[in-house]
Amino acid sequence: MAALRTLCVFCGSSLPPDGRFAETARSLGEAVARRGIELVYGGGRVGLMGVVADACLARGGKVTGVIPVGLFRREIGHTGLTTLLEVGSMHERKQRMYDLADAFVALPGGLGTLEELAEISTWSQLGLHQKPIVLLDVDGFWGPLASQLDRMVTAGLLEPENRQLLPRAADCDAVFELIETYQPASVEKWITAAER
């Protein structure tokens, strides 16, 4: 993989009471800044979103937030970023974050994080990009999703090669190791000749 210049982080706009979630977000933000990588994220000031952005900024890192105009108040847009881009819709937000990013990391989050993760993984499966995607675990948070993906493979609904699109990392060092050693999946077709 080429040098990692920008990293998009998907994460929750809520702050779980378990302090390990915020600590992991803080560690990731600091690691991004320390490595001289620009952070791209959803532009919010609260929850895990705010923690990862503030940690990166506190270490002198560059942070670009992308937020839909209608969500600026609801997600409490972060006005202290290097760059804050306001877009017209959630679709534009995801597209802009994708365009800006060299790789993606998902911290724990809710439905929004899950939706972003599903879309970017689907784009990879369809061959629309070959950018690494990593799930950063906190207390086994992504374990149930990993189990569901494995079940999809067993059921014949997901190719084993595409299952590898969503590896889990236990800490920040493992995140960057997975990104640096990433090999794109090479599944070229889903429909067999007999099905055509």
Tens-level pLDDT at each residue, the chain (196 residues) = 678 999 999 999 999 999 999 999 999 999 999 999 999 999 999 999 999 999 999 999 999 999 998 765 565 788 899 999 999 998 999 999 999 999 999 999 999 999 999 999 999 999 899 999 999 999 999 999 999 999 999 999 999 999 999 999 999 999 999 999 998 876 555 555 565 4
Look at residue 152 and tell me if it is in a domain.
Answer: no
Look at residue 128 and tell me if it is in a domain.
Answer: yes
| Domain, as residue range, for 34 | 6-139+166-180
Integer angstrom CA distances of residue 43 from 77, 86, 94, 130, 175? 6, 9, 12, 24, 22
Tokens of 59: 């270490």
Number of structural domains found in the chain: 1
Look at residue 194 and tell me if it is in a domain.
Answer: no
Letter string b/e over residues 53-74, b meaning 16 or more CB atoms within 10 A of that residue's CB: bbbbbeeebbbbbbbbeebbee
Look at residue 117 and tell me if it is in a domain.
Answer: yes
Determine how many CB atoms are found less than 10 A away from the CB of residue 137.
Answer: 20
Look at residue 154 and tell me if it is in a domain.
Answer: no
Task: State the pLDDT at residue 26.
Answer: 98
Give the domain CATH number at 125: 3.40.50.450
Look at residue 75 and tell me if it is in a domain.
Answer: yes
Look at residue 40 and tell me if it is in a domain.
Answer: yes
Task: State the pLDDT at residue 196.
Answer: 47
Task: State the pLDDT at residue 77.
Answer: 83
Task: State the pLDDT at residue 76.
Answer: 78
pTM: 0.92
Rounded to the nearest 10 degrees, the angle between the axes of helix 172-180 and helix 19-34 is 50
Integer angstrom CA distances of residue 107 from 5, 10, 59, 133, 143? 19, 6, 19, 11, 13
Q: Are 15 and 7 in contact (CB under 8 A)?
A: no
Look at residue 160 and tell me if it is in a domain.
Answer: no
CA dist 71 and 92 (Å) reads 13
CA dist 105 and 28 (Å) reads 10
Tokens of 95: 């597209």
